[in-house]
Each structure stands twice: as C-alpha cells, then as structure tokens.
Chain A
Amino acid sequence: MLWLYLDFYALQLDALELEASPQAPEVSEAQPVILVEAKHNTVVQYNKAAGSVGIEIGMGLAMAISLSNQVSVLEYKPELEGCKIQQVAQLLYQFTADIVLEPPQGLFLRIDTMFTLYHGLDTYWQNMQQPLGELGYLYRYATGSTPLMAKLLAKTGRNRIEASPEAMKQALQQLPIAQLELESKTAQSLVRVGINQLGQLLALPMKELARRFDIHVLNYIGRLTGELKHGLALFQPPRHFQAEMELMFEVTNTQCLCKPINKLLKQLEQYLRLHALVTQSIHFALMYRYDEYIEIRVARASGEYKSDKWLQLLELKLESVRLEEPVVGLRLWADKLRPFAATTGSLFSAKQALVEEDELISLLQAKVGKDKVLSMQYSPSHHPQFTTELVPAGNEPIGKADKAQEPELDKELVQRPSLQLARPMPLRQAVKVLQGPERLQTNWWNEHKIQRDYFIARDVSGKLCWLFRTPQKQWFLQGYFA
C-alpha cells in the first residue's frame, strides 16, 4: 500500500486571501496577517509578510504584535477549514478514488490503486498538479507505506513522492520523538530514557514497550509501522450540487440572467455527467444586495442533466419572475440527484415523439405552474363530489404506474356526467325529466352526509343535466352530460 498525505497547513489564511477581498479588505500581500488560536493565544498561521518580520508558529499573541504594530489578527476557525477540506476532497475525487478526510487540514490519499489508470507514480503526481494548482492553497506532502507514516513525513515538509519503502523508512527513523502525535508526557518520558529519534523507539521490542506505556502508544506505533490495521472511513462525495456566481454588474432584466445561469448549468451538467447522475429539480436563488434573494425552482420528473434542457425550462420560468431589486449574484442548488438511466424510445413506431411525456409536463409546469397541470384519478365513492381527484401531474411517470395499486374499478360503472360543477347550483331553468329518481344516500358517517334523489333531465336549451332533489324538496344542478 502506498499513501499520500496532503497537508494544507495554511488553509484558512489561503482561503481568505484567495476569496474576493471585499469581505476582508485588511488582507493584502504586504500586510502581515496572523491567525491566532483563541484557547492558547498562539499563532497558528501567518502570511509571508508576517514571516518576514519574524513571526513564527506557536508564538504568543503579545510577542507577535510586539514584532510589528501593523499585524492584523484574525481568529483561527478549524470548522471553517473543515468545510474547505471537504471541497478540496471533492475536487481531488475526480483524480483519486480513495480519499480519507483528516480534518481540519489534511487528506489521506491511497495512491497505489491508481497506478494502473495513470501508468505509474510520476504521471499520477503530474495529473494531481493540475487540481492542486487550481486550488491555490499552500500544501506539504509526502508518501508513506501507512497513512500515519505519510502524515508524519508530510508534516516535516518532506515534499517528496516516492515509492521505495526503504527510503521512506529511513526518513521516518530520523524523525525526532517530538514530531510524533503523542501526549507530551509520554514523549518526555521517552526522551528521558534516551530515545530521541523514532528509529530508536521502533527498534525496541513491542513487549517491552507494552510494559512501560499504555495501549494508545502501542496502537499508534502499530498503525505507524503497519503492524496494526488503521481503520479509515473513505470520503464519499456529497449527493448534492451547489454553485454560486457573483455577477460583474447588476442585472435588472431577467432576460440578461440567462447567460450567467447557463454558465452555472454547464457546471452542473459537468458534475452530473462525471457522476452519472441526473437531477429532478434545481433551485436558483437570485441574490439581491443585503443577503436578500428570491428563489425559483424548476422540476423535471424524469430527471435530466443537460444544461440546455434546464435552460429552456428556466427561461420560461423567468418570464413570470418580477425582480424587485437588481440581482448581484446567483446560486444554484440541486439535491434531488439520482442515477442516470437511459430511456429507450420505440425505434419503429410510426411517429417519433419529439418530446418525451415527462418533458412536456415539466415544460408546461415551468410556464404555468404546477397546480394547473393535473392528472386525473378516480376514487371509488358514491358521493359525486369525491369521485374525481385532480393531482399535479408527473409525480410518477404517466402510464407507468403500478397496475396492482390501481383501485378496483366497478365493472358496472353507471353513466355519470362528464362535466361536473365544482359545487351544486340551485336549479333555475325549466327541465324535462328523462330518467330518475336514483337515490344516493352516503357519507352518513362524516360531515359530507347526503341524501339526494338524482334525475337526468333535458333543459329548454337542449342541455342534458344531472339534477338532484334534497329531502327538503330543493332542486340542484350537479353536472352535465356533455
């Protein structure tokens, strides 16, 4: 096994400097900046300018400020670095399969499994240079035959990619005990008995060590040398996609938003294609100034990854969006991701569907709203008001629903009017009764209790009406036989 450890030792500071400076105008090249850990008040990261005035890691805050009165002090936030390292892992995941997060600053990468793909160690490392350069964060690295070995060597700034176990072991043996991630008490007692280098410690028989030190030390050494298994959880890229974009100028016209939106959609498409996924819906936040935004959402039940298809829906949606303020930024968010499955159309059917059914439904929904594009469901009820249910279409692919779940239809369905009034209206016109009465008495168990005598009748204009009479002898119109 060969492991690579990447140590982004100034992650928070680098991220701060790389991100657009408006939020932190105090950060500039010439300005000494230090990150101070709040608990111990010691310097944990510093930039070049701070280094040139003599600031070092581990220095107290008072000491650092006394070296330069211009130094700007920021708080060190490991949780911020934890987020950043996730993003780094996500980017590197395109190049390396097995990644283990070592928050807040490090990544273990198992690289021996990647050699077949990259034809060896050197080309692998060359390929890795591209994403690492893109990131622009400072990093130290080293390889090792165990994860911990790689980490220890990287922390010393070895910065060497090598596969020979001897060379790595030799380097490891020269490490001072203080570099190990041991409790300071343990390290001190080792130094006291004359063990200054790791090599000396490794030369001791395990049994002897076990008598003098606790199990943690043994575990650590065992994992370092590879004698004990080092259980690590591999990084899994999160199943959602998010991208943001700051606009160079303020946009007031929704038409002008299509171009930047398309850019974000292209990023989404690339992400989805690399992961063989499709997304069923995407959210866009159109950001106003002062952290306000409006959200628009488009959905496509069958899932889609192509940017042009999504753009088409978004253009329709944008037509109905009214901007109250100029838009200064965009955020894209897609979390309903699922594996891509190709649908096969019929090759020999007489007419070729230009658009899939699901696609048409998404298109209509994007333009006019979900509540107006409906599919019909029959629910067996004797109450005329409850037989028809209209639900937003496309919740499940039309025509592919499980037949077994269909409500059993009565074989003897009686003729009912095709058009029904939303609620019965008092009968106003003169009618000639053709058929009836048919008594419907149902729902006596709830508030929709009815007792009605239904008639079919033709009114003076020739309309076929469905009427009912209540026990109070009032007449109502329920529907039409169109």
Chain B
Amino acid sequence: MAIGELRLLLPYIKRKQSSGLLVFIAPPTLLSAEFFAANGINLERILVLNLYRPEEALWAAEQCLKSGCCSLVALWQKALTVKQARRILLSSEQGASTLLLYRPAQKASAFSIPSSLSMTLQPHELGIQARIDKQRGGQPSAMLTIDMRQTWPDLTANVSSKPGNVLPFPRVAAH
C-alpha cells in the first residue's frame, strides 16, 4: 500500500465523477481533500464512509453500488469471501457502478475471487509496476512498468536503467 495505487487510477476516478458519487469506504488513514482538489476532482462528489467493521463496510458498499447514484466505490478491505465478492459484483452490475477493492498482495494471491479486472501492483522508482492477473475478455499480462515521471516528477526517481516494457502515464486513449 501507499505505492501509487490511488494515483494510478486517478484518470479513471476523474472520468467517473461526472456520472455519480465517488464513495470511499474505510480508507487506511485520513483521505486528503487537498489531493483530490489538486487533481481536479470535485470534492462535492465525494462521500467518505469511515466504516471499519467489515460487515458494515460491505453492507454500505453494496447499498452504494446498487443505488445507481454512485459511479465508483473504493473499498479497503483485507479479506473477502467468494460469496461476498459475487454479491458485490452483482450489485455493481445492478447499479452500473464500479467497485475498486484494495487489499494486501499476500491476501490476494491465496485464491481468486470473481471480478472483472484483477491487478497486482508493486512499487517502482519510475512510478508503479502493474500486472494484470485476470480481465474479463482479455489475457493476463506480464509485469508492466508505468512511467509517472511526467505527472509526478517529485515522486519518482530519474534512473537510467529502465526495465523492458514501460508505459507512459497517463496513457492517452486512442480514438
């Protein structure tokens, strides 16, 4: 955690804010308003739920996902059973919203839970490394390095030895 996992999805979150509320459930520490404001996210669209009991957090996530008025729900949760994950997935389809589930890497590797996209993230000096473990309608990928030097020069180191496959961040969508 705290390796750039929120920044990686920032362009996605930004795009989502126009179609509904952004809900953050059980963030590991206090979320900074300054961070969101500086990155062009309207704070009025944000709802923070400080629910640290797993059953409460899951219940709230489900309510938000299926309400249809939240476009994105980010949930920090250590463990999730397959049954719970399926239920969450169904409610997100019902409300046409997205769930971002952040959990520690060692827990994730234990077994796979139903999801449309699953990624493993690792810290890297250039930005962040990501591997797609599973995606709906696509292939798993090798470890990719995402170069965030352009966007966050202060947070990255200028190293000369680059790994093989580097993608620039933010990636401009092809039209």
How many residue pairs bridge A and B at CB < 8 Å?
Answer: 173
What are the residues of chain A within 8 A of B49 when measuring CB–CB? 364, 368, 372-374
Verify if A393 is at the interface (C-beta below 8 Å from B): yes
> In the complex, what distance in Å separates the CA atom of A389 from the CA atom of B43?
11
A-B pairs, top 5 by smallest CB distance, nearest first, are A462-B123, A480-B2, A413-B38, A378-B33, A355-B67
Which residue from B63, B94, B156 sits with its C-beta under 8 Å from A364? Answer: B63
Instruction: Give chain A residues whose Cβ lies under 8 Å from the Cβ of B94.
Output: 354
- Main SS at interface, chain A: mixed
Q: Are A398 and B44 in contact (CB under 8 A)?
A: yes
Q: Does A130 contact B (CB under 8 A)?
A: no
In this complex, the interface size class of chain B, counting residues with CB under 8 Å from chain A, is 35 or more
Give the distance to chain A from B50, nearest Cβ to Cβ, in Å.
Answer: 5
Contacts of B42 in A (CB 8 A): 399
Q: Shortest Cβ distance from B154 into chain A, in angstroms?
A: 4
Q: Which residues of A contact B46 (CB under 8 A)?
A: 375-376
| Of A98-106, A187-195, A416-424, A444-452, the one touching chain B | A416-424
CA distance A199 to B138 in the complex (A): 102
Give min CB distance, B159 to chain A, whole Å: 11
Main SS class of interface, B: mixed
B4 at the interface (CB under 8 A from A): yes
Q: Which of A377, A379, A422, A434 contacts B154 (CB 8 A)?
A: A434
Instruction: Chain A residues near B1: list those with CB within 8 A.
Output: 463, 480, 482
Give bound CA distance, A354 to B94, whole Å.
9
Q: Is A363 an interface residue (CB 8 A)?
A: yes
A319 vs B2: C-alpha distance when bound (angstroms): 36
A418 near B37: Cβ-Cβ < 8 Å: no
Out of B7, B19, B44, B47, name the residue touching A482 (CB < 8 Å).
B7
What is the bound-complex CA distance between A364 and B4, given in angstroms?
Answer: 30
- Which of B21-29, B79-87, B108-116, B162-170 sits within the interface? B21-29
A377 x B3 contact (CB < 8 A)? no
| From A409, A416, A418, contact of B6 by CB (8 A) | A418
CA distance A306 to B42 in the complex (A): 32
Known contacts A355-B67, A419-B29, then 4 further A-B pairs from the complex at CB < 8 Å, ordered by chain A residue: A367-B59, A375-B46, A377-B33, A434-B155
A354 → chain B closest CB, angstroms: 4
Whole-angstrom distance between the Cβ of B68 and the nearest chain A Cβ: 4
A399 to B71, CA, bound (A): 14
Interface bits A433-457 vs B (CB < 8 Å: 1, else 0)? 0110000000000000000000010
Q: Shortest beta-carbon distance, B126 to chain A, in Å? A: 12
Task: Tell me if B69 and A356 are in contact (CB < 8 A).
Answer: yes
Number of A interface residues at 8 Å Cβ cutoff, please give it: 55
Binary CB contact string for chain A from 70 to 97 against chain B (1 if under 8 A, 0 otherwise): 0000000000000000000000000000
Are B47 and A375 within 8 A (Cβ)?
yes
In the bound assembly, the distance between CA atoms of A479 and B33 in angstroms comes to: 13
Contact residue among A360, A401, A417, A458 (Cβ-Cβ distance under 8 Å from B32):
A417
Asked if B45 lies at the interface with its beta carbon under 8 angstroms from chain A, I say yes
Which residues A317-362 have CB closer than 8 A to chain B? 350-357, 359-361
Q: Which residues 53-111 of B sit at the A interface, judged by CB distance below 8 A? A: 56, 59-60, 63-64, 66-70, 94-96
CB of A287 within 8 A of chain B?
A: no
Residues on A with beta carbons closer than 8 Å to the beta carbon of B44: 375, 398-399, 401
- B30 contacts A420, CB within 8 Å? yes
Task: Please state if B27 and A353 are interface contacts (CB–CB under 8 Å).
Answer: no
A389 lies within 8 A of B33 (CB): yes
Chain A residue nearest to B66 in the complex (CB): A354
Are B35 and A416 closer than 8 Å at their CB atoms?
yes
A116 at interface, CB cutoff 8 A: no
How far apart sit A375 and B43, CA to CA, in the bound complex (Å)?
Answer: 8
C-alpha gap A464/B126 in the complex (Å): 12
Q: A360-B69, A464-B2 are in contact. Are A456 and B155 (CB under 8 A)?
A: yes
A-B contact pairs, 23 of them (CB 8 A): A351-B96, A354-B94, A357-B21, A360-B67, A364-B49, A368-B51, A375-B46, A375-B47, A375-B48, A388-B34, A390-B30, A413-B37, A415-B38, A415-B154, A419-B2, A421-B29, A422-B30, A435-B154, A461-B123, A462-B124, A464-B3, A480-B29, A482-B2
